[in-house]
Structure 1
Amino acid sequence: MEETQLMQIIAQSGTAQSLCQEALNCFQQQQLETGLNKVHQAQTCLKAAQKVHGELLQEFAQENSTETNLLLIHAEDHLTAAETIYALMDNFKVIYQQLEGKK
């Protein structure tokens, strides 16, 4: 397990969370296109974090390793939070698109 991989998960997940918050702010200000762009960027960051996480899981499985550390737990916490926030934001996106269509 590389420390740089864990930091990538933390950084990408944190960026995804921030972009989701920015998207919500855009939606609230009726800037739908900008918000949709932020959601797309968040999805890209989240996929990057998930890819690194998947690679780590494969390494663990191949090495039959049970090694864990605080940084790994922290990285997985960030990833889980980002996935949750993204899922909520994706639902908000649909609601705001529907509201925009009714104007």
Structure 2
Amino acid sequence: MDFEMNIFTIITYSGDARSSSMEAITYAKQGDFEKAKECIEEAIEKLELAHKEQTKLIQAEAQGEKHNISLLLIHAQDHLMNAMTVKDLANEFIDIYKTIK
């Protein structure tokens, strides 16, 4: 397993998920709830892919494959957690915009 490639993959998928979540908020604000839903679904898919990469790292460590904790790994974890939070908040914003409309 290429440790750094896994990390960059987590960053990429997490960034994509965050972007899709933010796009969902924009669509909801415009009243296009179908597009907002599609964006949230895309964010969920990207988060699942990021989580799979994270799980690979966890499993490798559990099997004895040790790596130094790097700033890049911390950055990837930060991206993933932020993307998850933004997706959850996007769902809340969508609900609020539905109520307003």
- TM above 0.5: yes
State how far apart, in whole Å, the 1-side matches of 2:33 and 2:24 are: 8
1:75 aligns with 76
SS at match of 1:68: coil
Q: Taking structure 2 as the reference length, what is the TM-score of the superposition?
A: 0.89
Deviations 1:40-73 (A, max 9, x none): 0000001110111011011111116362111111
Q: Once the two structures are superposed, what CA deviation does each residue of 1:10-61 show, in whole Å capped at 9, x if it has no partner?
A: 0000000011110000000001101110010000001110111011011111
Using structure 1 for the length normalisation, give the TM-score: 0.87
Report the secondary structure of 1:42's partner residue: helix
Q: CA deviation at 1:93?
A: 3.0
Cα distance in structure 2, aligned partners of 1:70 and 1:79: 14
Task: Give 1:78's aligned amino acid.
Answer: H
Amino acid at match of 1:20: S
Q: Give yes or no for the alignment of 1:7 onto 2:21.
A: no
